[in-house]
Amino acid sequence: MNVTLLCSVRGCRLPLAREQHRLTCPHAHSFDVARRGYVNLLQPQDRRSARPGDSAAAVAARRRFLSGGFEAELTRAIGDLLTLAPGEALLEVGCGEGHYLHAFTARFGCEGHGVDLSVPAIEAAARHAGLHLVVANADRALPYADASFAAVASITARRNPAEFRRVIREDGRLLLVIPGPDDLVELREAVLGRGLLRDRVDRAVAAFAPRFRLERHERLRHVTRLDAAAIRDVMTGSYRAGRASRRDRLAALGPLAVTLSRDALLFRPVRPRAGRGRAGARRSPPTRPSPAGRSPCPPDPRSAPAA
Ligand SMILES: C[S@@+](CC[C@H](N)C(=O)[O-])C[C@H]1O[C@@H](n2cnc3c(N)ncnc32)[C@H](O)[C@@H]1O
Ligand SMILES: [Zn+2]
């Protein structure tokens, strides 16, 4: 593997080296490699609950939904934004059960690294051969050396602009994928009684300035027919199943045409200015989505304020 992992013991951050079935740092901190090949670098102070991240039930629901092929078209279209040479390293932050990471490593022949806070998610991801997987909290320091990755992806997952910038190469790319305004709108209407169209793009772009500049934006949509089981899974996997009353309403839904929608944002890192902090103090100029691509992205007239 071409990427150096860093020790997660508070104040250490020294490189980890592999020794048979464990990783150790020069201070002799040591981490077992799990039977399935991943490493749990989570420290007690990095977790807020005994079982942090997605539950086993949410992971299983997402895995069933993905294995139904409902996101295959989105997966291909999201991958179209990436360019990776064989052997280059890709990191997916909040990689869940590894569907996207596996698809992209298979497509590009690149080295696939995934980090997630959830042990059940990483256990599930580890069934894909060849991935380099770590349990860690991506809201804290990422356990990778500076400039390790040609690309970092966050797909409906965590955002940590400072750490993403640190671990991306100067010529690398950040792929951020967020739910589009009309994602699951039919289900939200049926279950919540309203389907607000919330556009999250401007906020996401602002959150990554000044460290990253938007290079490309695609709004990707796919309408698919879901039966009751798939509806339950997609709502559970996206945390929208919620309370018992909602689950009852979900159970009553028959086959339905449902919109899956994503805003895929490709950013390039902004070079720090000489003499300033790492991320620079300069604000990036206002960015507009590129007109190129499959589905250019005009402002959605139906967009409403936050749900
Ligand atoms: C909606 S899932 C998306 C999974 C995957 N990217 C996909 O699209 O299939 C979000 C993932 O982020 C993980 N997660 C939540 N908080 C996290 C954190 N602080 N650090 C790392 N992962 C986190 C969850 O455990 C979950 O697997
Ligand atoms: Zn250490």
- Tell me, what CATH number does 199's domain have? 3.40.50.150
Question: Is position 289 within any domain?
Answer: no
Asked, for residue 9, whether it belongs to a domain, the answer is no
Ligand nearest to the CA of 23: 2
At residue 38, does pLDDT exceed 50?
Answer: yes
Residue 156 located in a structural domain: yes
Question: For residue 284, is it within any domain?
Answer: no
Question: For ligand 1, which residues put their CB under 6 angstroms from it?
Answer: 53-54, 62, 94-96, 99-100, 115-118, 121, 137-139, 155-158
**Assigned domain for 307 exists:** no
- In the chain, how many domains are there? 1
Tell how far the Cα of 301 is from the centroid of ligand 1, in angstroms. Answer: 30
In a domain, residue 281? The reply is no
CA 219 from centroid of its chain's CA atoms: 17
pLDDT tens digits for 110-146?
999 999 999 999 999 999 999 999 999 999 999 999 9
pLDDT at 183: 95
What average pLDDT does the segment 41-58 reach?
Answer: 87
Average pLDDT estimate for 11-23:
95
Minimum mean pLDDT range among 152-156, 183-187, 246-250: 246-250
pLDDT computed for residue 281 by the predictor: 37
Q: Is residue 82 part of a domain?
A: yes
Closest C-alpha residue for ligand 1 atom 27: 96
pLDDT of residue 275: 59
pLDDT of residue 285: 37
* Residue-level pLDDT at 190: 87
User: Using CA atoms, how far apart are residues 175 and 154, in angstroms rounded to an integer?
Assistant: 6
**Which of these, 162, 171, 173, 169, lies nearest to 277 by C-alpha position?**
162
Domain that includes residue 127, residue range: 17-269
Q: Check residue 51 and report its DSSP letter.
A: S
